[in-house]
Structure 1
């Protein structure tokens, strides 16, 4: 397959966790993959190395998605290198582990950083990618959100607020960008990943999910399965928010 004929996927925050799982699943399906990262350069290159073993093209691009100029440079690279974009996954995210009741501990700098990455970032990347996505046969945007955007329970108030905003923005973008571009969101519950283990070692994942209908935390590939469904497994689905949470919101 020539480079111009090969579908292309851009995954933000693709160095580790869910982003890495998405990038690998796209590569397994024959996509050329752009691995975006902000700080985890070593892990991003490791993800790219694994993609190369699958025989598909891969690029590694550093860009802070909360900075519009860096986002535009990244999309310029995608256009110049590949000439197309078929799927965008807005996965990059940030948080702090702050007790919700401790309002003073939720600093303005942390608030701005979390909303910058989690809410401004997906908008900036989608805006910069929209023209390229629309030039093909129909593009897909998948936002990796969180059930925290429904429940208001999560690592901190700013994180919950950012994901609630992302859920609403998913619907707004689906209206604005249709019919050429579909926009959906996957909303994970607890994920067994470095995000929680390093962020708050005091959290017991097994205890958190013990009363769920499916009493186990998700793995990054469980979330990537849903992302790939929205990206490649459906043509008439847009503006939808899919919880992948083991039934958390039923409890």
Structure 2
């Protein structure tokens, strides 16, 4: 018997934007699935906070680039809750390589970014499609990047995978309609561990100084947009929304 509460699965939700999404869903009465690849301790911390907000929580360790494990994760979601209302494809990876350093961007880097950022989002959406359709009003939100629009970001491969995710968002919006809506959020720079650990030399304040809104986003700023697509609109699908302080106006 499906639970009476809506359910959201957020990939890569141990920290950062994914964690912020989990907690926002929990505050809105959702049960949640916390997915992680390596950060088990932080995933359990996030799960604990969601439980304190009244949510039933399932914690799933799964690398989204592994299709077999993805299918098992979604099977576990169905067994635990009997439903899935929202999927947030947030899991991502990158390598910080200067764009002019063409030789520095190795094939293994390409393969890993394509596997997680693009194929992973497809694998999870495909595995979850039947559960999402069953409710008649499912929502998929892909966490992309303005790098997929501007071609400027941590590496050429990262930009390309996020551009691919934007296009795939539109393709999936067509094939999963009308039962499931599919949209994407494209963050600009985020004040999070991702960018600080990935390239400590980057000066976030300097990076955003010329933006119309001259500050980096916080994870909750991005989660706000994710929650809008998931819960705040019924007639929006196939859309790509930049949440970037106006970066793409420049």
Q: TM-score, normalised by structure 1?
A: 0.98
Is the counterpart of residue 246 in structure 1 residue 245 in structure 2?
yes
Instruction: Quote the Cα distance in structure 2 between the aligned partners of 1:56 and 1:37.
Output: 18
Q: Distance in 2 between matches of 1:6 and 1:173?
A: 26
2:109 corresponds to which residue? 110
Q: Report if aligned partners of 2:2, 2:82 keep a CA contact under 8 Å in 1.
A: no
1:56: Cα distance to partner? 1.1
* 3-state SS of paired residue (1:5): coil
- Unaligned residue ranges in structure 2 (runs of 5+): none
Deviation for aligned residue 1:90: 0.1
Partner of 2:221: 222
Structure 1 runs (4+) deviating above 2 angstroms are none
Alignment deviations for residues 139-176 of structure 1 (CA, whole Å, 9 cap, x no partner): 00000000000000000011000000000000000011
Distance 2:158 2:46 in 1: 26
Q: Distance in 2 between matches of 1:164 and 1:3?
A: 36
Instruction: Report what 2:157 is aligned to.
Output: 158
Deviation string for 1:33-91 (max 9, x for gaps)?
A: 00000001011000001111111100110011011001000000001110000000000
Aligned-pair CA distance for 1:137: 3.0
CA contact (8 A) 2:141 2:182 kept: yes
Residues in 2 aligned to 1:52 and 1:74: alpha-carbon distance in whole angstroms = 20
Q: Which residue does the alignment assign to 1:87?
A: 86
CA distance in 2, matches of 1:193, 1:39: 17
Aligned length: 250
Which residue in the other structure is 2:188 paired with?
A: 189
Pairing of 1:1-251 with structure 2 (within 5 A): 4-251=3-250
1:192-236 CA deviation, whole Å, 9 max, x = no partner?
A: 000001110100001000000000000000000000000000000
Q: CA separation in 2, counterparts of 1:38 and 1:155?
A: 21
Write the distance in 2 (CA, Å) between the matches of 1:19 and 1:12: 7
Instruction: For residues 77-126 of structure 1, give each alpha carbon's deviation from its aligned partner in whole angstroms, at most 9, with x where no partner exists.
Output: 00111000000000000001001111111111111001100000000000
| Aligned mates of 1:192, 1:56 — CA distance in 2 | 27
Is this contact kept in 1: 2:136–2:180, CA < 8 A?
A: no
Distance 1:96 1:83 in 2: 37
Tell me how far apart the structure 2 counterparts of residues 13 and 167 of structure 1 sit (CA, whole Å).
18
Give the superposed CA RMSD. 0.9
